Structure 1
Amino acid sequence: MCVEAAQQVTSPIIETLEPDELIGLLPWWYRVYYLHIAGTNFLAAMFGPNLFTESVSQSWHNAMSALRTHEHLSTYIQQCIRTFETLLMRIMETRYPNSDGSGEAAIEEGTSYFFGDIFQDVGFDFDIYIYIFGTEDIISDQL
């Protein structure tokens, strides 16, 4: 359900994308926020071969492409893209450990794999949204 929701959020952003428009259907910071959340879901789906379908793969590429069109708006977006690319490489290394890239790693029963191993050393601060985007929208709505 999360992957489908991520696809449903990503599609209208991509369909109505006008990179030079700061506001458009959604202000650029919301577009980046939603693309980030969707991208995180697509990365998580890469761990399950039954979840990472051709459709999800295409959505991943579309989301990354859409993020790249916003790259000129904030250094945070550049950091987000680099982080996603780093995570993608680590996921692929985990799933395809052979040097020729063939075959998935065998996962022994009872062995647990934690996302911490993949996210370690990335240096990505998920709370940076509050710092970069602020809370003006939230505060002004409550007044």
Structure 2
Amino acid sequence: MNKKILSIIFSLFLVGVFSISCSNSDKTGSSTIDDSKGIEQFNGNTYVSKDSFDLSGSVGQDYKTAYLWISIKDSKIYMYPSKDNNTEPSYQGYMDVTGSGTDYTFDSGDNTVSGTLKFTDTSVTVNFTKNTVMPSIVGKNIVCNKK
């Protein structure tokens, strides 16, 4: 009788372990971007360009080697250059964003800056279609990695 009870308990234990193991299979591994959601799914993320670029002609000589920083807060995008890729700058203003999933557009609202954003789980690629402050980066794909 004890062997039957122990056998039943052991069988139930194995069934329980396999149930938990299988139910967690879709929750482990890399995260995915939800195509039905907007920019709010990236709230709290900060990104910095992996490569530097020269903004000395438009921003000043201190920015000969500049990095683009991007922060997503309250479903808005904040962008600003920095002299390095370790020190997050103080952002000055935000831009409204429209889109969903991985593809978005942004606009400053004053006809000075606009462009597109393409997200992955670990980065965002920025392409300025207009930038009167920094015209040298218009049309370039700037890859910014999650910080």
Report the structure, 1 or 2, having the larger helix content.
Answer: 1
TM range (shorter): under 0.3
Q: Which is greater in Rg?
A: 2
TM-score (norm 1): 0.21
Report the structure, 1 or 2, having the larger strand content.
Answer: 2
TM-score (norm 2): 0.21
